[in-house]
Amino acid sequence: RYSDFVVHEIGKDGQISHLDDLSVPVDEEDPSEDVFTVLTAEETAEEKQRLEELQLFKNKETSVAIEVIEDTKEKRTVIHQAIKSLFPGLETKTEDREGKKYIVAYHAAGKKALANPRKHSWPKSRGSYCHFVLYKENKDTMDAINVLSKYLRVKPNIFSYMGTKDKRAITVQEIAVLKITAQRLAHLNKCLMNFKLGNFSYQKNPLKLGELQGNHFTVVLRNITGTDDQVQQAMNSLKEIGFINYYGMQRFGTTAVPTYQVGRAILQNSWTEVMDLILKPRSGAEKGYLVKCREEWAKTKDPAAALRKLPVKRCVEGQLLRGLSKYGMKNIVSAFGIIPRNNRLMYIHSYQSYVWNNMVSKRIEEYGLKPVPGDLVLKGATATYIDEEDVNNYSIHDVVMPLPGFDVIYPKHKISKAYREMLTADNLDIDNMRHKIRDYSLSGAYRKIIIRPQNVSWEVVAYDDPKIPLFNTDVDNLEGKPPPVFASEGKYRALKMDFSLPPSTYATMAIREVLKMDTSIKNQTQLNTTWLR
């Protein structure tokens, strides 16, 4: 169950992120709380629709007038504030028409106002970024941000974060957003399922990818059959020896076309193939409209026609099609460039990960779990070779292997040749990893081949109902739910484990090691359905 896999980000100060405070920092400059309720009454649904269309330049009218029913100065002030804070870019004024008061909304400064809404109203003294803790269930970080940006009517690129977290999980992480008040963010708690926002603060800086110290995991493995002894043995091994630091299955996507194939095509500069891999019809379960969109594309190769089959245009397919209809089929590079940068880089990083996983398997198969001459270790950020004479000064936990790129060195043993052969087989030149498009140049990096998790603890618990949660989440605690009490005997046994891992190390791979079992999402989801029948 996705709720049996919980991730808490560990920030750059080493603190574990928790959602434990839903209060909004009070700020003289904020509009009053009524702002959010004044426009939510039933009769204004149609007015809100008109305001939204006006804000996005969708309707022919240049202004929208709202009649003020019980007219008081206070009530008018609240409506003015509500329109301005809920529909950035609109200005309002009061007019008398035939003895009735109307509030008229219009665009402040033509189209420019939309690109840069209400920057002028942000107090100098307040940090430009609102940082908050995002609790999400069964959504990946990029999807979550797309949803938030849709509800706030802003572009997704004003959000920043330190790392993307698993989709099939409950995760808690820090997010920063440029010039959106905590008040507007907290308001989303009323309208969004699967999300909770809290722990708001204003700060000077955004967040950067990779700034986190790691993640803390709480994982429950249900319906285990091993003896207590076997559990102890497996968990002790995880704690003392660790696991091979493979990139997890989720790194390669969950669809019929693995992301590393798209990455490989980008690196080869085969743009038609990039386009085909993303858009061509594929086997496997997909939403009906995506299937229709792909069929349309295969039949007509007309981006606009395929786009019309998509109700939601924020998916990669929709973004690429929009790019193709904007730039034409002769310019796939620019069309692909419409996809947000993080998503584009994900493809090529996925290819690097695919190479690394293959190479580390070869390395361990060839030389086992001990350092050998020619292996690489890090001194600071620089990689150096292990010599014959100092091989005893190192353990397998010191050994790193490179992700292919123009700025790394390769081991001085058989595995070096294996790297070269693997890239050659993919029509890539290991000595020239610079791409003529700078974004797609790979500098490479080093990654430890074995990881020992920190703060490892575990317990075996008994339970009777396969559907009951076996621990509290942050949201349960906020709602004051008592933690579950376990019977000493039960129909089933579960192993509950806690551990911390460094950034971009996959808990699924640690678990795979403990279980000696397949951790791809397909297999996990099937397990779930099989034994609940």
Q: How many domains does the chain have?
A: 5
Handedness of CA 328, 329, 334, 337 (dihedral sign): positive
Give the mean pLDDT of 226-237.
Answer: 90
pLDDT of residue 532: 41
Give the mean pLDDT of 353-365.
Answer: 96
Statement: residue 491 has pLDDT above 50: yes
Q: Are residues 395 and 419 in the same domain?
A: yes
Please write the tens of the pLDDT for every residue from 24-36.
998 666 666 666 6
In a domain, 23, yes or no: no
pLDDT of residue 258: 86
In a domain, 27, yes or no: no
Please write the tens of the pLDDT for every residue from 458-467.
999 999 988 8
DSSP state letter for 15: P
Burial of 397 (0-12, 13-18, 19+ CB in 10 A): middle
Beta bridge partners of 216: 8, 500
**CATH number of the domain to which 362 belongs:** 3.30.2350.20
Is residue 373 within 8 Å of residue 387, measured between CB atoms?
yes
Beta bridge partners of 170: 6, 137
Return the residue matching tokens 């949201």: 475
Statement: residue 502 has pLDDT above 60: yes
Q: Are residues 37 and 75 in the same domain?
A: yes
Please write the tens of the pLDDT for every residue from 515-526.
875 555 565 556
Statement: residue 287 has pLDDT above 80: yes
In a domain, 356, yes or no: yes
pLDDT of residue 427: 96
How far is the C-alpha of 139 from the C-alpha of 69, rounded, in Å?
Answer: 42
- The three-class DSSP label of residue 24 is coil
Please write the tens of the pLDDT for every residue from 75-91.
788 887 788 777 777 78
Q: Are residues 382 and 435 in the same domain?
A: yes
pLDDT of residue 113: 47
Q: 481 falls in which pLDDT band (50, 70, 90)?
A: very high
Q: 308 falls in which pLDDT band (50, 70, 90)?
A: very high
Q: Are residues 204 and 230 in the same domain?
A: no
Q: Are residues 446 and 355 in the same domain?
A: yes
In a domain, 258, yes or no: no
pLDDT of residue 357: 96
In a domain, 260, yes or no: no
Percent of the chain whose pLDDT exceeds 70: 90
249 or 134, which is more confident: 134
pLDDT of residue 518: 56
516 or 335, which is more confident: 335
One-letter amino acid at 232 equals Q
**Which of 339, 362, 384 corresponds to the end of one domain?**
339
In a domain, 160, yes or no: yes
**Residues designated as active site:** 166
In a domain, 38, yes or no: yes
Q: Are residues 363 and 442 in the same domain?
A: yes
Return the residue matching tokens 């609790």: 135
Is residue 216 within 8 Å of residue 500, measured between CB atoms?
yes
pLDDT of residue 519: 53
Mean pLDDT of the chain: 87
Q: 249 falls in which pLDDT band (50, 70, 90)?
A: confident
Q: Are residues 459 and 443 in the same domain?
A: no
Is residue 244 within 8 Å of residue 364, measured between CB atoms?
yes
pLDDT of residue 33: 60
Q: Are residues 317 and 229 in the same domain?
A: no
One-letter amino acid at 410 equals Y
Q: Are residues 285 and 240 in the same domain?
A: no
What are the residues whose beta carbons fall under 8 Å from the beta carbon of 21, sequence distance 6 or more?
198, 199
pLDDT of residue 19: 98
**CATH number of the domain to which 190 belongs:** 3.30.70.3160
In a domain, 17, yes or no: no
- Domain, as residue range, for 311: 280-339
pLDDT of residue 326: 93
Enter the pTM of the model: 0.76
Is residue 127 within 8 Å of residue 207, measured between CB atoms?
no
Percent of the chain whose pLDDT exceeds 90: 60
Q: Are residues 460 and 523 in the same domain?
A: yes
**Which of 450, 481, 503 corresponds to the end of one domain?**
450
Please write the tens of the pLDDT for every residue from 105-127.
887 765 554 555 555 578 888 99
Burial of 377 (0-12, 13-18, 19+ CB in 10 A): buried
pLDDT of residue 271: 95
Closest by Cα among 200, 213, 350, 222 to 274: 350
Q: 533 falls in which pLDDT band (50, 70, 90)?
A: very low
Statement: residue 531 has pLDDT above 60: no
Beta bridge partners of 446: 402
How far is the C-alpha of 57 from the C-alpha of 51, rounded, in Å?
Answer: 10
**CATH number of the domain to which 83 belongs:** 3.30.1370.30
Q: Are residues 108 and 37 in the same domain?
A: yes
Statement: residue 527 has pLDDT above 70: no
Handedness of CA 137, 142, 144, 147 (dihedral sign): negative
**Which of 65, 88, 114 corresponds to the end of one domain?**
114
Q: Are residues 135 and 173 in the same domain?
A: yes
